[in-house]
Amino acid sequence: MFQQLKVLAILCILSCSSNYTYSKTFLVFGAKTGWIGQQIQHMLIKQGHKVLVAHSRLENRNDVIAELDQVKPDCIINAAGVTGRPNVDWCEDHKQETLRANMIGTLNLWDCAFNKNIHVINLGTGCVYEYDQQHPINSGIGFTEEEAPNFKGSFYSYTKGMIDRLVVNYPNVLNLRIRMPLADDLHPRNFITKIINYKKVVNIPNSMTILYDLLPLIPEMAERRLTGNLNFTNPGVISHNEILQLYKEYIDPQFTWVNFTLEEQAQILKAGRSNNELDTTRLLAEFPHVPHIKHSIIKLFERMKQQVKIN
């Protein structure tokens, strides 16, 4: 009798699981014009979720509250914020605008969502660390989510580092630390596009985010209501030269590049740039199938080769 009940229970679980749906209502900030926000929007729609693009500005509290009351989302994705155009040097001369978007507005959204018990997935950055004695280059020792940011070389990273420390006070927020996002196309915001257009590049191994691998994890993260900081990069590191060599092999055989040192780079930039390796232990505990950067980058260029034509 016990065995029959056990079998029936298993069949019931399997039946319920096969009919289970993760379909949710997502409200996405930063999907009007944002590169990653638009990708997330299209991905969620393709997966069968209901997606609405937010119209309120993060710092306008009354507008945010009104939109949350109207939409009643299961989850908010915040892909809005200021990174600067053409790069983060812009933030050095626009500190108030940077603070308004990256700190005041972000905290306002988190707080409004907290008051309504709505889960938030915030797209942050992992550019809040730099290699040091405890985390040397090529050591395989990455910065964990619990370690305090140690890079303050740019005002952009400074604001992001401060927001990182505050996320622990909001039990409804997951902050995804993206780094140097890599995509299959040659969009201007793609890190590959950026470095192939630089006159000179440094050659330093870094943790990076291959969007093809990691963005599809977001709905499951919403389902599990994960919170806190999460290093959102592929395991391992890859250097600028390795990426450029693959670009040359797969996309443009005529491509060439010139390296220069960090000291030489500093002479042409207003703000410093973060270089680091992030520890992905927590990410792999939740999603063990995320591929190593050295393996996944090959697949990326294979996909890119199918859709990109160089004249």
Q: Please provide residue 154's backbone torsions phi and psi, each rounded to the nearest 5 degrees.
A: -135, 150
pLDDT of residue 106: 94
pLDDT of residue 271: 56
> Which pLDDT tens digit goes with each residue over 13-50?
333 433 335 678 999 998 887 889 999 999 999 999 99
80-84, 157-161, 162-166, 192-196: range with lowest mean pLDDT: 80-84
> Which pLDDT tens digit goes with each residue over 42-77?
999 999 999 999 999 999 999 999 999 999 999 999
Contacts (Cβ under 8 Å, ≥6 apart) of 264: 200
Rounded distance between C-alpha atoms, residue 91 and residue 180, angstroms = 17
Task: Report the percent of the chain where pLDDT is more than 90.
Answer: 67
Please say if the pLDDT value at position 11 is more than 50. Answer: no
Rounded distance between C-alpha atoms, residue 98 and residue 89, angstroms = 11
Domains, the chain, in order of start with CATH, read: 23-181+207-238+275-291 (3.40.50.720)
Please say if the pLDDT value at position 5 is more than 60. Answer: no
Helix (H, G, I), strand (E, B) or coil at 203: coil
| Average per-residue pLDDT for the chain | 87
Rounded distance between C-alpha atoms, residue 44 and residue 46, angstroms = 5
Say which amino acid occupies 75. Answer: C
Stretch (H or E) spanning 222: helix 218-224
Please say if the pLDDT value at position 262 is more than 90. Answer: no
Say which amino acid occupies 309. Answer: K
pLDDT of residue 7: 39
Average pLDDT over residues 103-128: 95
